[in-house]
Structure 1
Amino acid sequence: MRVVFAGTPDFAATALKTLIEAGHHLVGVYTQPDRPAGRGRKLLPSPVKQVALETDIPVFQPESLKTPEAQQQLADLKPDVMVVAAYGLILPAAVLDIPGLGCLNIHASLLPRWRGAAPIQRAIAAGDEETGITIMQMDEGLDTGAMLLRVATPIEADDTGGSLHDRLATMGGEAIIEALAGLVEGQLVAEPQDEAEACYARKLSKEEGHLDWQRPAAELERLIRAFNPWPGTYTELDGERVRIHGARALPDNSDQPAGTVLRRERDGIDVACGTGTLRIERVQLPGTRAQSVSDLINGGKPVLMPGQELH
């Protein structure tokens, strides 16, 4: 088959590498235009573009796929199938109709749960016990197409957004290889999604990382794991932002106001929550790197002391 791939971030680059290693005939790669990044704001290629350039696959970076020119460019590649993973651009109906076997999307959830931009983090934050990869036949809706293949994985108690992302990226590559084989052999059965079970994983924002100490400790622990490494979570102490990189929920309740530091020992800093207690184990003070609470205490700085209030 003549395969066109469309994707942008690391999650998609992993799938592209898997397709290349499996020997699929990649006739073109679509990715978003280079964006400024880093302190110098230099234009940097996406992870997907980097993989494509390393393997001499033609790269296309249109600002939109809605123009006749962009659609003709794709049609000229004569793709049998288009594989899409976290591309970031809308595929209009005219594009969906170009590949003879349609467009397959690698989505990082067990659809119809967590359609949208941030399914990995939303699954952890919500306390889901499992998630997975869905290979979906794309239509004009937002992750609403018929499901062709689903592969599940448990969400472990110590999973972060980063660890689950990496596991699902690998699973996504394996799943699309299986799906393409089934497509060729005519063995895939399209299963419509149950709209009654659908929910939306809205895009992440840095503001969501502000910890509300009125919430239960278990919810805050999940949020800290979900938003690690990005966008991160934080609290305010004396007008300064303290980033929280690791914590665990304890069942102990306190009669102190939510946000009050209850205890500061080498194994963690305990903070009263709306329900339960959150033990902070890894922090980052302004102008410093992330460190364990033990290292913080060794540094001798009198912050996050019992009786102080976090906001």
Structure 2
Amino acid sequence: MNVLYAGTPTNSADILKFLALSKKINIKGVITQNNKIGKRGNKLIESPVAIEAKKHKIPVFMPTDLNENEFKKALNDLDIDILLVVAYGRIIPEWLLKLPKLFPINIHFSLLPKYRGASPIQSSLLMGDKVTGVTYIKMNKLLDSGKIIKQFTCDINPSDNKNTLEKKLTELSINKLIEVLDYINQDELSFVDQDETKKTYCNKINKEDGLIDFREDSSSIHNKFRAYYGWPGTSFVHKDTTIKIHNLKLTNDLSSGKPGSFHKFDASGIYINTGDKVIVITDLQFPNKNIISSKDAFNSYKNFFV
């Protein structure tokens, strides 16, 4: 089966690696986002998908304009059976959706029609869901609204965060991928329309989304920490200083003061009152400093938190 692949981040690169090593699949080309300028501004950084594709000598396309004539001609010459899209990060134009002999497929990390959009993993954690999954859809020109080819569920553990859940969903996608590709090769296919009455949407995440509002209940704050683990991370402001949270736990203690005030501070943690119960921060980071434990914070910054 000849496949044109479109994707950008690390989890998409993991799926590409699996396909590239499969004897059933021939990756004819990869579409990914343009190189980004590094933090210091003096180096271009390739996407994880571009890096993985080059390891397997797969042609890489990084078009600025997806409707560019030269780009169209190059893809028309590839003779592809399916277009497989996994977290590409750009809207696929209609001409490209019509290019494969069979059809375009998107792997979406939610149980569609729930959480259409850019942040389904984070949204499932923010909402405190116990179950999520992976949906393979036949793409159309609307956002994440195509017919469902196959759908697979995945439990969310209380300890899961964005990184661990993304890894689980990526592994689930890989484990089911050949099954799905074999299925679409059959003569008779049965797809399922998404229930439009149950659709929800999720937006692209911004850096400021990780700022904690201690007026919220403790579970919501904990879910935000889980959802934004890694990037953008979660933080709070104290004495005009933004402090990043690297570990946060729930307690059963009822809040004893104004949300955001300190319930207790000792070597075991920074205990903060919220809208209902106390949460405890055990690892944190001051601006331009290394991550420290609450024990180190107690020894070095005790007066700061008084």
What TM bracket, shorter-length normalisation? Answer: over 0.9
2:20 counterpart of 1:20? yes
Match of 2:167 in 1: 166
Report the Cα distance in structure 1 between the residues aligned to 2:165 and 2:282, rounded to whole angstroms: 20
Report the Cα distance in structure 2 between the residues aligned to 1:85 and 1:165, rounded to whole angstroms: 13
**Count of residues paired in the alignment:** 305
2:217 counterpart of 1:207? no
Q: Which amino acid aligns with 1:216?
A: D
Match of 2:3 in 1: 3
Three-state SS of the structure 1 residue aligned to 2:4 is: strand
Worse-matched range after superposition: 119-128 or 266-275: 266-275
Report the Cα distance in structure 2 between the residues aligned to 1:88 and 1:254, rounded to whole angstroms: 41
Match of 1:252 in 2: 253
Report the Cα distance in structure 2 between the residues aligned to 1:58 and 1:254, rounded to whole angstroms: 58
Match of 2:50 in 1: 49
Measured after TM superposition, the shift of residue 39 of structure 1 is 2.3
Identical amino acids, percent of aligned pairs: 33
Worse-matched range after superposition: 126-135 or 166-175: 166-175
**1:197-222 CA-partner distances (Å, limit 9, x unpaired):** 11111110111111101100110011
Report the Cα distance in structure 2 between the residues aligned to 1:71 and 1:211, rounded to whole angstroms: 46
CA contact (8 A) 1:261 1:304 kept: no
Task: Say if 1:304 and 1:224 are closer, same or farther in 2 by CA, change over 3 A.
Answer: farther
Report the Cα distance in structure 2 between the residues aligned to 1:43 and 1:102, rounded to whole angstroms: 34
Report the Cα distance in structure 2 between the residues aligned to 1:173 and 1:75, rounded to whole angstroms: 27
Superposed, 1:1-311 pairs within 5 Å as 1-23=1-23, 24-186=25-187, 188-297=189-298, 299-302=299-302, 305=305, 308=306
Q: Which amino acid aligns with 1:191?
A: V
Three-state SS of the structure 2 residue aligned to 1:63 is: coil
Report the Cα distance in structure 2 between the residues aligned to 1:260 and 1:80, rounded to whole angstroms: 59
Query: RMSD between aligned alpha carbons?
Result: 1.5
Q: Which amino acid aligns with 1:16?
A: L
Three-state SS of the structure 2 residue aligned to 1:252 is: strand
Task: Say if 1:267 and 1:255 are closer, same or farther in 2 by CA, change over 3 A.
Answer: closer
CA contact (8 A) 1:65 1:89 kept: no
**1:65-84 CA-partner distances (Å, limit 9, x unpaired):** 22343223211111111111
Measured after TM superposition, the shift of residue 15 of structure 1 is 0.8
Measured after TM superposition, the shift of residue 187 of structure 1 is 6.1
Structure 2 gap segments, 5+ residues each: none
TM-score of the superposition, structure 2-length normalised? 0.95
Q: Which amino acid aligns with 2:61?
A: F
Worse-matched range after superposition: 63-72 or 96-105: 63-72
Task: Say if 1:116 and 1:304 are closer, same or farther in 2 by CA, change over 3 A.
Answer: farther
CA contact (8 A) 2:34 2:62 kept: yes
Worse-matched range after superposition: 62-71 or 239-248: 62-71
